[in-house]
Amino acid sequence: QKEVEQNSGPLSVPEGAIASLNCTYSDRVSQSFFWYRQYSGKSPELIMSIYSNGDKEDGRFTAQLNKASQYVSLLIRDSQPSDSATYLCAVKNRDYKLSFGAGTTVTVRA
Amino acid sequence: EAQVTQNPRYLITVTGKKLTVTCSQNMNHEYMSWYRQDPGLGLRQIYYSMNVEVTDKGDVPEGYKVSRKEKRNFPLILESPSPNQTSLYFCASSIQGVGELFFGEGSRLTVL
């Protein structure tokens, strides 16, 4: 079982719609969770971090965490063509390791 | 400008020829790490360093070495590269925590 799994995508949404990205993790003691965005040919950049159960909103992005279900998600509201990218879920495990999912590629159709 | 700088950005080499990918950050970050990114496998951690002279293995350390003699530099060494080390490599650093990483631009390595 992979440590971090994401819905494989690709995910195509129309402009203005909500894009929903899902991520599950295997290590129950994980405490810190992150979403990175990676444009094609570029390096990943941090867009959200979440540490407590519930929702965390930052502009058009909302991260949701459910530790009991070992599930973290990212919602992108009012999707724009500039949101077209691969989104990486990352989970901090014990021993200062950060494990990444394989990523979900999102395409926003104008 | 705050940045993580990797060199070289692109390299084609042959099996067995030792090479070093340099990484330098100007943000006084204590934590640094190397990742490789392969299609379908995502980012996998090779080595990380919590501070000067403190390094530890990530998930895929075989075939790689690192050193952390200075806070700003964290080179990745491939003593005897093999074709399965053909990949896109990222160096990253962090000050606030392991997960809030700042990435370099990446180094694309091809081993023939």
Q: Over the stretch A7-52, which tens digit does the pLDDT of each residue have? A: 878 999 999 999 999 999 998 888 899 999 999 999 999 999 999 9
pLDDT averaged over every residue in chain B:
94
Evaluate if residue B102 carries a pLDDT over 80.
yes
pLDDT tier at A3, thresholds 50, 70, 90: confident
> How many angstroms separate the CA of residue B7 from the nearest CA in chain A?
14
Evaluate if residue B96 carries a pLDDT over 70.
no
Evaluate if residue B27 carries a pLDDT over 90.
yes
Per-residue pLDDT tens digits for A56-75 = 999 999 999 999 999 999 99
- CB-based contacts of B60: which residues, under 8 Å, 6+ apart? B36, B44, B45, B46
Mutate which of B68, B98, B105 to disrupt the A interface (most A C-beta within 10 Å)?
B98
3-state secondary structure of B97: coil
Number of Cβ pairs < 8 A linking chain A and chain B: 58
Backbone Cα Rg of chain B: 13
**A96: nearest CA in chain B?**
B98
Q: What is the per-residue pLDDT for A15?
A: 97
Contact A91, A3 (CB under 8 A): yes
Contact A23, A77 (CB under 8 A): no
Contact A44, B90 (CB under 8 A): yes
> How many angstroms separate the CA of residue B89 from the nearest CA in chain A?
10
**B102: nearest CA in chain A?**
A45
* B98/A95 touch (CB, cutoff 8 Å), yes or no: no
